[in-house]
Structure 1
Amino acid sequence: MEKSPDNSKSNRRSLIGDRWGAPKDHRVNKEEIVMTASRRDDCAMIRLERKCHSEIDFSQVHFIGGGPYKGIMVNKTASNLEEVEPAEGRLEFLVYLSDMDHDNLSVQDYWTLRFWFLGRADGVTKKRAFTDYFQELMNPEDFPKNYIGFVKRALVLLKKYSLIKRVELLVEKTEEPPSNDSLPPIKSFITVITPDAYTYQFVPEVPVSNKTFLTFQLKAAANAYLALSAVYSDLERKTYEIVIGENNRRSLIREGSLGQLRAEAMTINILSEKEFRYFWVSWADHHIEVGRGTKHGQSRFLHWHVPPNKQFNINCLAVATDRASKGQWEFIEMLEQKVGDFARAAKKARLKSSLIWLAKKQKMIQCLEDAYPNSMSAQDIFANCKVKQSDMITAVVWLNDLQKRGLIKEVDKGMWMRIPVSQQNNPDVKMVEELPFLSHQQQPTIAIITSLYCEKLAVDAMIEEKATFVKYKTDGDSQVYTLGRIGKHRVVSTKLSKGGLQQKSMISAENTITRLLGVFSRVEHVLLVGVGGAVPHFSDFDKHVRLGDVVVSLPVDRSGSVYVHCQRVEKIAGSYGYSYVTRAWNSATQTLQKAVQFLRRDIERNPHTTKPWDLYIEEGKEALENEESDFHRPSITRDKLLFTQRNGTVVQYDHPKPTGHASQNYTDGQITIRYGVIGSGGLVTRNQEMRMEFAQLNGIKAFDLEFEAVLDSLEGNRNCSFLIIRGMADYGDGTGKKGWQPYAALAAAAYTKCLLTILE
């Protein structure tokens, strides 16, 4: 490439044509490519920018292009270019030139191309756009012979790449001697801006699955989060979270988003909001390390050797900051080669097919989990999952694959049952026709009833010295009983079978409770433990229930009701109000409620101590690590507080924050225990306005599935002591997206263990 003098008028004229005068008529929204040049110290800068006519300062326009350069304007040389927002990507590379004015002396310049984009395209699309632009710009077959030719080509190509809003070229002289070796690799810098909110942004344009470390630079005041995970978009399970500069005083390694602390170090003023600072992260040989500087392996300040049961392959990267600071991240990559369109299309088609079958496979597992401990025929499974006749063979293959993985089992010819991973090859799990004889001392005094599969797993994780018996029937209802101990109490847990018609499910639930109390005649207390739907408050933290919290059934008035079911709703003529016909239940014996109040007072007297349920949750996650369901807490960013107005507009609110003394002991992501009535009834839970009104009228803190059949059965069997404990999984009735259900079930089970541990 030859270096021509900057004052070459002929070259400039070939680019820009005639002098531009003030336009007599133009369309305000017409788009032009505007070039502005500037010089700062020993650096030459050129900005190429896509602008509408209404954005152009015509007093600064010097020339307009014609012919192939139509639609291109050139501004007068500027002393300084106007400041703009940070670039979203850049490329840095060395250029070797021959200076024709100095006997073809070799000159080495350092070039930087910065890029900005229009719209909200994802990072991968943006990265592909600027790398394709660069590769076409630097095509060796028709590479420009001088600077002017290079700028001409860059302007023309910018018209073609409509996603790119702005390109800047910075040319700096370097004193390094020219090298006869091949050019060093071209560095691509990916920029990510994170807001002052704990909201992770995934960075798929920076691949990590084929690496063991990465280097980046960061500008933030405090609290910078970097997550390395196994599964894209999942930051709760199989994730290492690195916090750099928490309050700009210490740095951490945690297991999962806001998860268990695994390593920490004092790092006072490690971050700066005024300048970029380099960091590196390494995960080679399952050893998480974090350090300062550009050379990975040096200046390490954090490390954690991951134990075998916590190890996984890292496949994706995400970053965030929180309320303490915004952040600007730059990740350094080598320029990738383009992938052919055909290969991309074929990969996309394969991915789409895989996702469809993955969804069907998950649906199969869900059907069997709902039916458990009952089995289902393959025909019923396929009907529930809407498997086409032409896909039957593939579906059968999937069933057998799930059996090989130990998730399901063909208990009879064509009859399938869900099998917990913890029960595989476990001698304490038996399928029996009749339960073994239990002595008086072995008989449980407490029964725990669950409905969802994940609820049963969570409860069983809290039980010690346990044995599980599946009383299996090929026709009719089966039963599952897990016997063991929590604290000093002998307990039994069971699961209601779901599926089929609602009336049939209610009859099945009543029969299950009747059999349970008949078989285990010493049961004094019954706990209904599982998930529910939170009743939020949009302004008062003390009344607000959010996802992950636990609600315990306590009465709020003299009626003593702890569970209220809406049987019928009637519209009040001439108003927006409704009249509700209800039925309520209360617990005649107060033993469990008194234990709840005792535990409540003990926790309130010691607000700074670690909550016992947090310890039980961690133990439960360890025990359930290999289960198909993910029992880690989902990211708090997935807890969105939405309100649908009467006109259908959906408004998102911030969760109310605690004030005063309460704010000193509260952090985002912790479990709050709330106390009040549990409600039910599809008539009110499906309508947000009625749901909120019904909750306010009856002191309801949470809704759940309709458990009136279970309570009727308890009442009919003269059980006088029951309690309902619900972990919040959505803002409905707990039947929403599966994402929060396992963690909510585990939170409820952990509180249950706390309660039984102190129960006399």
Structure 2
Amino acid sequence: MGDSDEVVMMAAKRDGRSVMRLERMFRSEIDEKLVHHVAGGPHKGILIAKAVDNLKDVEPPEGRLEFLAYLVNEEQQNQSVQDYWTLRFWFRGQAEGVVKKKTFTDYFQELMNPSNFPKNYIGFIKKALVLLKIYPVIKRVELEVQETEDPSPEDSIPPIKSFTSVFTPASYTYQLVPEVQINNKTFITFMVKAAADAHIALSAVYGDVDRKTFEIVIGADGNTKSVIRYGAGGPDMTESMTMNILSENEFRYFWVNWANNKIEVGRGANYGLGAFLQLTVPPSKQFNINCLAVSTGTPSRGQWEFAELLDAEKDFGKEAKKKRIKHSLLWIAKKQKMLQCLEDAYPNMVKTADLFKYCKIKQSDTMAALVFLSDMQKKNLIKEVEGGFWMRLQSSQESDIVKHDVKIVKYLPDLKGLDQPTIAIVTSLFCEKIAVDAMIEEKITYVKYKTEGESQVYTIGRIGRFKVVSTKLSRKADSEQEARISTENTITRLLGTFSKVHHVIIVGVGSGVPHFYKGDKHIRLGDVVVSVPSRKNGPIYMHCDKIEKMGGADGYNYSTREWDCSDNSLQDVAVSLKQIIERDTSPQRPWDRYINDAKDALQTEESNFHRPPMKTDRLFYTDDDGTEIELEHPVPGKGYRVGQSNCRLGVVASGKLVSRNPRLRQSFAELNGIYAYDSDMSVVLESLDGNRNNSFIIIRGISDYSGGSRKEWQPYASLAAAAYMKSLIYALK
């Protein structure tokens, strides 16, 4: 039997209280002698252990909920029984505090949902076990029940207290606590266990504890005094002698109030009583407090608990759950949009204000948005290079074997002689750049950044016997003219910086031109189109910038610009490679192997580079009246391998006037031997022409059929194009 993931229930008594521990464990960790029952059917994976006298000691919980439960005892004339319940939570992995808080709150609300609340205690435990299976981030839950004589409220639901636990090392390093939202509060209450130096930072800006921050230190100077400072480690603004106010063996209660530009700190669980620190904030130091961070100094580790009340009436029920799900999905979409914005801008940076404006983040949501930015920075997806300037990051390491250094620099190192690349690779999307770099060996990436103006990114390495450099065009510009200038500058700098570059390969995604009835010419998603002339002395790339309907005729005049190469080395290799592949009967083409190798290296990336399911590759034909009709893909021609990336040679084109119109798109393609459209590389080709580069080729992985952007296919299509690029370079003489 494999080492499967099981949920085990253990029952015991602790200080006279009933305790149920529900724990996620591997099968190899479970002592079979202690198993009382193994569930089957829909509850497979749940085990009930025999009752024990004492449960094994574990680390402190990371979250806790406490509430009063009023039950009816049917065996004693329906007499009311009052219990005090405590639910404790532990988590797996390195989930963020906000995620943990939301997870255990959602688990509790689902458990206590009145619409399907269990009829008895056994049913309740059963529901708790089943729920744990669908919340994989939760490692362990404890349910502790204590009978109590507290008076029962008559007209309201008793309060549900939610506790968030935070653990701080003895290093005076602030730990942000975004799960405790304070931007809509004027006070907090908490407990802390520490020998000395318990620091609380109340800040205006998330993650910045140096500016616009009030720092409260409880038990400073060896647990002898407490102070309020402006900024972390800043000058004392007020202090009070507080001998032995903290304890490293027991929790002590405190509260902090910051209403009406006055800061007060007190001891005890009763807010407003026992104040020992007060500060009236001068006008020059006044600001809105939006976030909380805590720390303990070098003498002591700390354990903190922050308490909040859950509004049971507001948070329970199907409508509330739908609202929470909708809100979560909206924030996932906003987070993805922020990441997409930074990817489009890369290697340029984006100001926080511009990022929020582009992603339509409301003023009231800025704190939550900053939390997501901080979360993405912790995961090394983005970086705040300078205050308020954000940049998307490439992974510094793809695997244990393939190393990739990424350096953010002000100046590029000098490359001499043989270190100068002779092949340049140009990409536009972030996933295209990542896919290309996965094909490069012995690589190092330099991001030459500017806060104002254009940055550049260059990944330098080797493919086969050739030194190569890859770059990415920034797609973030306020106007089409700005975008053209930025692209021209990028290409000019690329060729000026790397003067030995002879061949330029433009790699990325494109939109395929399907042949609805000819299988030998049909293109499917995930295939690759390589720019080769469809006729002798014909162009390899076309851009249509104007269309005129022919008078009295059922046709159009297309105004186009065309490009070809005076040096056809790359096109000749593409033709030769196609002939070799057609004669080769081996099950794997070179690019198939490169795709498979790279998928392992790219598995930690945010984008999913695996090939999407075949069922998502749907083909539509647009009728004369605009009706879309779904068609079956034609029977493939000889040598075409369904479910793999196949290569077609033909012209690549651009121009929104033709690529976005279904009828013109097909007729223009048939007229000119076009196999794919892209997002317009005409500016790149003009710049290559202006810099007298005579050898270039365009490689497009097909991600859609419509001239739009099928996001789900873009990463794989980028990978297929990059893998073909590597095959082409290896075949280059």
1:573 counterpart = 2:551: yes
Q: Secondary structure at the match of 1:678?
A: strand
Q: Secondary structure at the match of 2:492?
A: helix
Alpha carbons of structure 1 residues 393 and 544: separation in structure 2 relative to 1, 3 Å: same
What's the counterpart of residue 484 of structure 1? 461
> What is the CA distance between 1:543 and its match in structure 2?
1.3
> What is the CA distance between 1:482 and its match in structure 2?
0.4
Q: Secondary structure at the match of 2:396?
A: helix
What's the counterpart of residue 494 of structure 1? 471
Identity of aligned residues (%): 54
**How far apart, CA to CA, are the structure 2 residues paired with 1:496 and 1:391?**
31
Letter in 1 for 2:599: K
**How far apart, CA to CA, are the structure 1 residues paired with 2:509 and 2:131?**
38
1:540 counterpart = 2:518: yes
> What is the CA distance between 1:649 and its match in structure 2?
1.6
Letter in 1 for 2:575: Q
Alpha carbons of structure 1 residues 350 and 427: separation in structure 2 relative to 1, 3 Å: same
Alpha carbons of structure 1 residues 668 and 380: separation in structure 2 relative to 1, 3 Å: same
> What is the CA distance between 1:577 and its match in structure 2?
1.8
Q: Deviations over 1:22-76 (max 9, x none)?
A: xxxxxxxxxxxxxxxxxxxxxxxxxxxxxxxxxxxxxxxxxxxxxxxxxxxxxxx
Letter in 1 for 2:346: Y
May I ask how many residue pairs the two structures share in their alignment?
Answer: 431
Q: TM-score, normalised by structure 1?
A: 0.54
Q: Deviations over 1:442-480 (max 9, x none)?
A: 100000000000000000000000011111111110000
1:748 counterpart = 2:725: no
> What is the CA distance between 1:424 and its match in structure 2?
9.6
1:513 counterpart = 2:486: no
- Give 2:412's match in structure 1, choosing from 427, 435, 439: 435
Alpha carbons of structure 1 residues 422 and 635: separation in structure 2 relative to 1, 3 Å: farther
**How far apart, CA to CA, are the structure 2 residues paired with 1:591 and 1:207?**
61
Alignment of 1:137-536 (within 5 A): 209=134, 343-422=317-396, 428-500=405-477, 501-536=479-514
> What is the CA distance between 1:502 and its match in structure 2?
1.6
> What is the CA distance between 1:573 and its match in structure 2?
2.3
**How far apart, CA to CA, are the structure 2 residues paired with 1:206 and 1:525?**
58
Alpha carbons of structure 1 residues 395 and 424: separation in structure 2 relative to 1, 3 Å: farther
> What is the CA distance between 1:528 and its match in structure 2?
0.2
- Give 1:653's match in structure 2, choosing from 608, 624, 631: 631
**How far apart, CA to CA, are the structure 2 residues paired with 1:400 and 1:418?**
13
> What is the CA distance between 1:520 and its match in structure 2?
0.6
Letter in 1 for 2:349: S
**How far apart, CA to CA, are the structure 1 residues paired with 2:316 and 2:447?**
53
> What is the CA distance between 1:344 and its match in structure 2?
3.0
Instruction: Identify unmatched segments of 5+ residues in structure 2.
Output: 1-114, 123-129, 137-314
What's the counterpart of residue 587 of structure 1? 565
**How far apart, CA to CA, are the structure 2 residues paired with 1:707 and 1:208?**
50
Letter in 2 for 1:752: M
1:553 counterpart = 2:531: yes
- Give 1:737's match in structure 2, choosing from 697, 710, 718: 710
1:637 counterpart = 2:637: no
Alpha carbons of structure 1 residues 210 and 423: separation in structure 2 relative to 1, 3 Å: closer
Q: Secondary structure at the match of 1:364?
A: helix
Letter in 1 for 2:582: E
Q: Secondary structure at the match of 1:557?
A: coil
Q: TM-score, normalised by structure 2?
A: 0.56
> What is the CA distance between 1:732 and its match in structure 2?
3.0
Q: Is the 8 A contact 1:373 1:497 kept in 2?
A: yes
Q: Is the 8 A contact 1:703 1:732 kept in 2?
A: no
Letter in 1 for 2:394: P
> What is the CA distance between 1:399 and its match in structure 2?
1.3
What's the counterpart of residue 541 of structure 2? 563
Q: Is the 8 A contact 2:448 2:457 kept in 1?
A: yes
Q: Is the 8 A contact 1:422 1:627 kept in 2?
A: no
Q: Is the 8 A contact 2:405 2:444 kept in 1?
A: yes
**How far apart, CA to CA, are the structure 2 residues paired with 1:392 and 1:506?**
32
Letter in 1 for 2:654: S
- Give 2:701's match in structure 1, choosing from 723, 727, 732: 727
Alignment of 1:59-98 (within 5 A): none
What's the counterpart of residue 677 of structure 2? 703
What's the counterpart of residue 731 of structure 2? 758
**How far apart, CA to CA, are the structure 2 residues paired with 1:342 and 1:394?**
23
What's the counterpart of residue 680 of structure 1? 654
**How far apart, CA to CA, are the structure 2 residues paired with 1:634 and 1:573?**
45
> What is the CA distance between 1:412 and its match in structure 2?
0.8
**How far apart, CA to CA, are the structure 1 residues paired with 2:359 and 2:540?**
37
Q: Is the 8 A contact 2:409 2:449 kept in 1?
A: yes
Letter in 2 for 1:671: S
Letter in 2 for 1:400: S
**How far apart, CA to CA, are the structure 1 residues paired with 2:624 and 2:579?**
41
> What is the CA distance between 1:595 and its match in structure 2?
1.0
What's the counterpart of residue 693 of structure 1? 667
What's the counterpart of residue 601 of structure 2? 623
What's the counterpart of residue 614 of structure 1? 592
Q: Secondary structure at the match of 1:531?
A: strand
Q: Is the 8 A contact 1:406 1:424 kept in 2?
A: no
**How far apart, CA to CA, are the structure 2 residues paired with 1:709 and 1:472?**
23
> What is the CA distance between 1:708 and its match in structure 2?
0.8
What's the counterpart of residue 168 of structure 1? none
What's the counterpart of residue 154 of structure 1? none
Q: Is the 8 A contact 2:526 2:717 kept in 1?
A: yes
**How far apart, CA to CA, are the structure 2 residues paired with 1:342 and 1:576?**
64
Letter in 2 for 1:709: V
What's the counterpart of residue 268 of structure 2? none
Q: Secondary structure at the match of 1:410?
A: strand
Q: Deviations over 1:152-200 (max 9, x none)?
A: xxxxxxxxxxxxxxxxxxxxxxxxxxxxxx9xxxxxxxxxxxxxxxxxx
> What is the CA distance between 1:419 and its match in structure 2?
0.7
- Give 2:645's match in structure 1, choosing from 671, 676, 679: 671
